[in-house]
Amino acid sequence: MAAVTGDRAAHIAAAVTAGPTGRRLGEVVIDAVVASYGDAGPQPRDAMVMIAASSVLRACYVDTITAIEGPLAEAIVERCPGIGRLTAEVLSASVGAAARTALRHWLQAASEPPSMPGFVVPSGSLPDLVRAALTPLAPALDDATTTRPAQCPAT
């Protein structure tokens, strides 16, 4: 579980840092987080099957989403040096909370197959749900870059 979230945090931070110039910070962050919840190959998929099979692991996994906050804050500061550390940490905590809420909703909407008691099958698109949860944060992410636009290539 820690490996899945650690890899996710590293990929999100790298995507934010390397995001194309000329794009708003909100777009770059949202796209990076949403992409991290897409199909990431067989190993994360296998880990998610194991997590989905246990209510304890599901709860722990939702709580591990906070692991993205530190690397994301660092990536925001690196991409936009004019944004202070406190602001970057608050923004990344908001992103983490939105992702955690989306994941919790996705897992709560899951169904339990009658032939497999205790096993949960999530339904719907997690990336779409994550995007919907993050979209209200875009103005705050973008606004943080307008205070010193010359120091953020995303504006």
pLDDT for res 124: 74
Second CATH level (architecture) for the domain 2-147:
Orthogonal Bundle (1.10)
- Are 47 and 4 in contact by the 8 Å Cβ rule? The answer is yes
Q: Is residue 144 pLDDT above 70, yes or no?
A: yes
Q: pLDDT > 70: what percent of the chain? A: 69
Written in H, E and C, the secondary structure of 47-100 is HHHHHHCCHHHHHHHHHHHHHHHHHHHHHHHHHCCCCCHHHHHHHHHHHHHHHH
Report pTM.
Answer: 0.80
Indicate the range of 19-28, 56-65, 94-103 predicted with least confidence.
56-65
Domain ranges across the chain: 2-147
Q: Is residue 155 pLDDT above 50, yes or no?
A: no
pLDDT for res 15: 96
Q: Is residue 22 pLDDT above 60, yes or no?
A: yes
Q: pLDDT > 90: what percent of the chain? A: 46
What's the pLDDT tens digit per position in 66-90? 889 999 999 999 999 999 999 999 9
CA distance 85 to 121: 39
Number of H helices, E strands in the chain: 8, 0
What's the pLDDT tens digit per position in 87-125? 999 999 999 999 999 988 887 766 555 565 655 556 678
CA distance 13 to 135: 18
CA distance 153 to 148: 10
